[in-house]
Amino acid sequence: MHSALPVWFEVAAMVILTAILIADVLIIFKRPHVPSAKESTIWVAFYALLAIGFGGLIAWLGNPEAASQFYAGWLTEYSLSVDNLFVFVIIMSRFSVPKKYQQEVLMVGVVMALVLRGLFILAGAALIESFSAIFYLFGAFLIYTAYHQAFRTEDADEDSESKLIVLLRKRIHVSESFDGAKVRTLVNGKKVFTPMIVVFLAIAVTDVMFAFDSIPAIFGITTDAFIVFAANVFALMGLRQLYFLLGGLLDKLEFLKYGIAFILAFIGVKLVAHAMHVNELPFINGGHPIEWAPEISTNTSLVVIVSSIGIAAIASAVKLKLTAKSQ
């Protein structure tokens, strides 16, 4: 499950990706605005083509297996990141964040997600290196997460967000209204936090929860830390533009959660199968590998991931069309 790439390529890629992210952040904070559908479409398409080109470059370097791992990882992380947007929508609407400043909030959320996922990747890689049985835990966790994903409701999401927001408001003195994108403002001569601080904290907590799902999921596809990190970076690129592009459609993609749940369950089973194949636990098969355990290839994973997202998206679009016709 590990495939090495030239060090010069990994270093160059990280430098270029970091530069793109920094440029993106600077543009947002210099010119906060609500992007048009055309602008959002162009950026989403640009980042998607960039990811496809990146995978092609890996294949061109003579490593088609690593390219397949990148594509499977990117699509898995992208689908989970889109799911993350559902919660961002709830937070934004609950606080009535002005549309003009939603880009800044989303960019901060993306940067926080990237930092958190980076830390989780390092921790996950270290655990895998020293304790192969972690694959059993990762697999079981993903299967549990898949069940929760399939049977969760929007009301449950909103209820959990409400509890978090109430808790934060109890701990922090917050002003009644926003002051642009500032997190601190003056009220009656006293410095207090604006609701923006609670928005940022709520998004940070959300990012932590989603990192718990996304990192075990991609480690089920590859254990190459570089590919894991690159897939996460590309999955988070263009996420804020996608937020504005999809807009009110996010809550209408009814079957997307089932597609994501199926992907998580599939990768969970794949992880358990891999854990059996490299088994070292003394109380399972006497500490010996379980030879009959299947090894699911990266290309099979890629087909399953693409099919799951495609079927869920098409089913959601058909349901949306039928609902519109019946009204």
Residue 154 has pLDDT above 90, yes or no: no
The letter for the amino acid at 113 is A
Q: What is the pLDDT of residue 54?
A: 94
Q: What is the pLDDT of residue 135?
A: 82
Domain ranges of the chain: 7-326
Q: Average of pLDDT values for 179-203?
A: 75
Residue 276 has pLDDT above 70, yes or no: yes
Residue 302 has pLDDT above 90, yes or no: no
Q: What is the pLDDT of residues 122-150, one digit of tens each?
A: 888 888 777 777 888 888 888 888 888 78
Rounded to the nearest 10 degrees, what angle do helices 134-151 and 256-277 cross at? 160
Q: What is the pLDDT of residues 16-69, one digit of tens each?
A: 988 887 787 777 666 666 777 788 888 889 999 999 999 999 999 878 889 999
- Give the N- to C-terminal CA distance of the chain in Å, as an integer: 50
Give the chain's mean pLDDT. Answer: 80
Q: Average of pLDDT values for 211-226?
A: 83
**Residue 48 CB neighbours (<10 A):** 16
Place of tokens 């449950």: 156
Q: List the beta bridge partners of residue 186.
A: 191
Q: What is the pLDDT of residue 2?
A: 46
Q: How confident is the model at residue 249 (pLDDT cuts 50, 70, 90)?
A: low
Chain centre to alpha carbon of residue 261: 14
Using alpha carbons, list the distances in angstroms from residue 141 to 185, 272, 278.
Answer: 42, 10, 19
Q: What is the pLDDT of residue 253?
A: 73
Q: What is the pLDDT of residue 1?
A: 45
Q: What is the pLDDT of residue 57?
A: 93
pTM (2 decimals)?
0.78
Q: What is the pLDDT of residues 155-173, one digit of tens each?
A: 555 555 566 666 666 666 7
